[in-house]
Amino acid sequence: MSIDEIKKQTEEKMEKCITQLKKELVQIRTGRANPMILDKVLVDYYGAPTGLRQLAQVSVSEGTTLVITPFDKSILKEIEKAIVKADLGITPNSDGTVVRLQFPPLTTDRRKELAKDVKAAGEDAKVAIRNVRRDGQDAVKKLEKAENLPEDAVKDGLDQVQKITDKYTKIVDSEVINKEKEVMEI
């Protein structure tokens, strides 16, 4: 393994941390309806837990309402149960053919709570990135011992790992700031 391979692995792992952060941030509710919030809702479909978005068409109506139209009308009750069980903080309303989720406007206190959740998700992502950095630095140090690399090459490898870490930490900060603005927007 070379320093370039270590850099590449480190960058790939940090990219996965960013992807995970984005998934978590998408599921944090804002004042607007977002179909991605339903990604964690699993419906009991003939005994197998199945993602809601695989069983129904989800569309946004008027910016604050999600309309869920199941492909199989017989699972309407199961969809309602799954939404309640997922504890999204929204009560489903069914008219027999579709389920509507009306997103109420967020209170100031709730917005502050959600902003804290956003910061916590960002901090978790930074911890994951720092763990990846540590692994990358350890790999460079092992390489030094295994191949008797010159001190300059090792120092350069450690610096490169740190630069990659700084880059991804800035991306996390940017994602968190954008999501906080979205949450606090009225």
Q: What is the pLDDT of residues 71-101, one digit of tens each?
A: 988 888 888 888 888 877 788 888 889 999 8
Residue 76 and residue 67 in contact, taking contact as beta carbons nearer than 8 Å: no
Tell me what pLDDT residue 96 has. Answer: 86
Tell me what pLDDT residue 108 has. Answer: 87
Tell me what pLDDT residue 135 has. Answer: 94
CB atoms within 10 A of CB 55: 20
Q: Map out the domains of the chain with their CATH numbers.
A: 3-26+107-184 (1.10.132.20), 35-102 (3.30.1360.40)
Tell me what pLDDT residue 18 has. Answer: 95
Tell me what pLDDT residue 174 has. Answer: 96
**CA neighbor of 161 nearest in space, from 171, 172, 169:** 169
Tell me what pLDDT residue 90 has. Answer: 81
- 3-class secondary-structure state, position 13: helix
Residue 13 structure tokens: 């792992």
Collect the ranges in the chain with pLDDT lower than 50: none
